[in-house]
Amino acid sequence: MNHIRFVLRVFLELLKAVAYGWILVIIEFLKNFIKAIKGFCAYLKRPHFDQDGLEDKCSKFDHPALHQPDPCIYSQQYLLSLGLPVTWDNPDISLLLNGVVVPETNLLPDTVYEIDATIWNNSYDAPVVGLRVEFAFLSFGASTVTNPIGATYVDLGVKGGPNCPVIAKMPWRTPATPGHFCILVNLLWADDANPNNNLGQNNIDVVAAHSPADFGFRLRNNTNTTNDYVFEVDSYAIPEQPDCAKRLTDADRGNFAQRLERIKAVHNRANFPVPPGWTVEITPPQVSLAPGEEVDIAVSITPPAGFTGTTPFNVNARFKDRYAGGVTLYVTKA
C-alpha cells in the first residue's frame, strides 16, 4: 500500500510539473529580466554627460558611433534664440543669373535664377554623405506661406576639411507676378548634433531714401493661437571677421558658455541701435493676429539731412518670448 501511495505521489508531482511548473520558471525569468532592465535604466540616468559632451565621471567612450555631424547654415532663428542680433540678408544664400551674383531686390518675373547655399559642418569628426537640402520661398514678410522650390543632395566634409563648406545649387523660376520674396534653405539630417541651426532665410529690401524711405511687408500668424506682435528695430550688420592669426585655438576657446559670452560681447544688439538722427515708424506698431491671419506692415525710415551711403535696418517681429521672423531693409542714397 505504501509503495502504491509513493508511486501516486511521484506521478502527481510529475503531472504538476508538466501542467504548470514551466509557468513558474517563466515568471522567475521575467522577474530577473525586469530587475536587469531597471538596473540598466538607473545606470543611464547617471550624470555621464555635461553640456559640452562626455564627462569623465564614469568611463570614457571613444567610438565612431558617438560622432555626430552638425550640418549648419547661417540660421536667424537659432541665433535669435541665443540672444544674438541677426541680419536677414543671409551671408550663406545668394542668387545668380548666368553665373553672376545679382541683388535679390531686382529679380525679374518668370526668370530662372540659380540659388547657391553655402553649407557648413561644425563637427571635426563626422562627415555627411547625402545631406538633403530643401529650397523654398515666402512672399516678402515674416512667417508667410512656404512655397517649395525643390531639393538636392550634397556630400559635406568635416570642419576644416577639403569639402567644407560645400555649395548646394538649385534653379528657381521666379513667379510671373513681380514682387519681393524670401528664400528659405533647410538642411535635413536624422543624426544631427544640433538640428536648430539648419534653417536659413534671405529676406531683404532696398529702397532709395527719398525722405522718407517707405517699405512694406506682410506679417502672418502661422501658429495655432492668437498672438500679440511687437517689433524690434536695430542696425546690426555682421562685423568683419578677424584674420586667422588673431583667432583663438580650440584649446583657448573654452566651453560653449564661455564662447557664447565672447560672441555676445562682439555681436551685442545694444551696440547697433537706430543711428542718431534717424527715425523709424512702423504702422501698426503692434498687432494682434488670429491663427492664419495676415496683415500688411508699413515701415517709414527717415534719414538725417545730408545722409549718403547705405544703412541697414533689421525689423524683427516678436510675440511673447519668440520671434516670428523679420526683414532687413537697406536705405540708400548716392
**Contact 253/259 with Cβ under 8 angstroms?**
yes
Helix residue spans in 146-255 (DSSP H): 250-253
What is the amino acid identity at position 18?
V
79 pLDDT higher than 60: yes
| pLDDT value at 47 more than 60 | no
pLDDT of residue 56: 42
pLDDT score, position 263: 87
Distance CA 102, CA 327 (A): 19
Q: Residue 183's Cα: distance from chain center in Å?
A: 15
| pLDDT value for 155 | 96
Confidence band (pLDDT; 50, 70, 90) for 174?
confident
CB atoms within 10 A of CB 79: 18
What integer pLDDT is reported at residue 57 of this predicted model? 44
Residue bearing the bigger pLDDT, 128 or 39:
128
**Res 246 pLDDT > 80:** no
Tell how far CA 243 is from the center of its chain.
Answer: 27
Q: How confident is the model at residue 59 (pLDDT cuts 50, 70, 90)?
A: very low
Q: Pick 48 or 270 by higher pLDDT.
A: 270
What secondary structure letter does DSSP report for 179? Answer: -
What nine digits make up the cell of 240?
568683419
- The pTM of the whole model exceeds 0.85: no
Q: What is the pLDDT of residue 317?
A: 94
Specify the pairing of strand 309-319 against strand 227-234.
antiparallel
C-alpha cell at 46: 547617471
Judged against a pLDDT cut of 60, whether residue 18 lies above it is answered with no
Lowest-confidence pick of 46-55, 259-268, 286-295 = 46-55
pLDDT for 46 beyond 50: no
| Alpha-helical segments (H) within 177-292 | 250-253, 256-266
Cα separation, 153 vs 169, in Å, equals 9
Residue 49 in this model has a pLDDT that exceeds 50: no
